[in-house]
Amino acid sequence: MNVTAVIAASGKAKRLGGISKQLFPLLGKPVSAHAIQAFEDNPLVTDIVVVCGEERIPDFESMAKDFGFKKVRRIVAGGQERQDSVYNGLKACPQCEIVAVHNGANPLVTQKEITDCINAANETGAAVVGMRVKETVKRVGADMFVQETPVRAALWAVQTPQCIRYDLAMKAFEKALAEKFYGTDDVQLVERIGVPVKIVEGSYENIKITTLEDIVFAEEVLRRRMTKTRLSYDDAMHLLKQCLGDNPTRYKHDLEVARVAVETAIKLKENLSKGRYSQASLVKRIELLDVEELRVAALLHDIGYAEPLKKAGVHAVDAAAFLRAKNEEGVARVVLSHNAAFEEAKLRGTDLSQYDFAPQDLLPSSLAAEILTYADLCVGQGGVVMGLDERFADIQESLKPQNQLLARACELAEGRLREVYGRVKSLVEVV
């Protein structure tokens, strides 16, 4: 079976500062390069045709050379509309049985989505990746009054790739051309010639880049994919016992912090499933939240207190450096920015560059880091759950006799930490 991927990359950049969204940098690599790479890496795909604006052909030629895309056979100019561009791509395809049409602005497609869609099209003639609609949808008239509320269970939001048997794709596109019909997606044209289209369930992460907010989301997804935790719960427990097993007070604290952190994350995901959050950026952050990574980070957030790990003298930095050395970059980043690490490093004058960290890395930027800080502020010494005011008093009582600098750092951080605590608590308690 020969499969050609047609990458539709002719879109304009109206909301990305005039830069083509297909060429917009995403972790040092153009958005479309990520999309092309996915098909370059898929063993079922034999050839790739890229369709772009005529003025962008030299850019994509350079991209194919710079990133070593061996399967890119042709780069052709697009047309007036997306449908015209895809048709140009179809006409440029080498001989193949299946064509997989994919948006060049969708950089997060997975190997499973590509493979499942190709296999489904090979069996049925046409298939498209999609996801169940999460929101209630209303059909509205020109007068802006609701006419109908379709049953949500039957509604799917379609994505790309859209995979079609090549002969059917050509027949469908030529019929649409002859009738001057323009559809909203590729498989709609196949539906018009009576071919049933199979839905292949994909992922909510497979977004089309349109705004800068989408770029931030895509970067978070890619970083998580690159740094997904390799440590299991059992591995983390073994490390915790090894590092802090002889300190029962701190050991019990860390176990309880992990429990609270996981319960908090699960509660946020439960609230999300019930439609209790409407802000798009927050919804994406919760969807991205890796509960297992958070569990491991919460269990190990204090291991920097173990004598063999002490180097920087800031326990969050020492723990993060140790975890990074184990290729646990994601867990390390969560641990690094919990509680008063930023203020402690500043008071100690710690040279963070020795550990390849920057001062801003010690401030929680991810939702996982904020949840860890929240959980740490819910649990006192010995694993006792307590209120926020009681916890700050507990911190000072336990630290001042033995570590006045850290006690002072916690005092300096109190306002910032109360804000983090309040943000997470409001997410938990939203109704």
Rounded Cα gap, residues 277 and 371, in angstroms = 17
C-alpha 206/C-alpha 109 separation (Å) is 5
How far apart are alpha carbons 121 and 79 in whole angstroms?
26
pLDDT at position 21 is 85
| Four-CA torsion 320, 325, 329, 330, nearest 10 degrees | -60
pLDDT for 304 = 95
Whole-number pLDDT of residue 225: 78
Q: At what angle do helices 280-288 and 212-227 cross, to 10 degrees?
A: 10
Q: What pLDDT was estimated at residue 224?
A: 75
Separation of alpha carbons 429 and 167, rounded Å: 55
Q: What was the pLDDT predicted at 128?
A: 98
Q: What is the pLDDT of residue 227?
A: 64
Task: Please report the pLDDT score of residue 398 as a whole number.
Answer: 86
pTM for the model stands at 0.61
Q: How far is CA 54 from CA 11, 31, 64, 78, 304, in A?
A: 12, 18, 16, 7, 56
396 three-state secondary structure: helix
CA gap 13, 27 in Å, rounded: 19
CA angle 27, 264, 276 (to 5 degrees): 80
The pLDDT score that the predictor gives to residue 228 is: 64
Domains of the chain: 3-201 (3.90.550.10), 228-429 (1.10.3210)
In the predicted model, residues of the chain with pLDDT beneath 50 are: none
Query: What is the rounded CA–CA span in Å between residue 315 and residue 311?
Result: 9
Q: Alpha helix locations (H) across 326-387?
A: 329-336, 341-348, 367-378
Contact residues for 53 (Cβ-Cβ < 8 A; gap 6+): 10, 20, 77, 78
Nearest Cα to 116, choosing from 6, 35, 202?
A: 202
| pLDDT in the model for residue 399 | 85
CB 258 within 8 A of CB 240: no
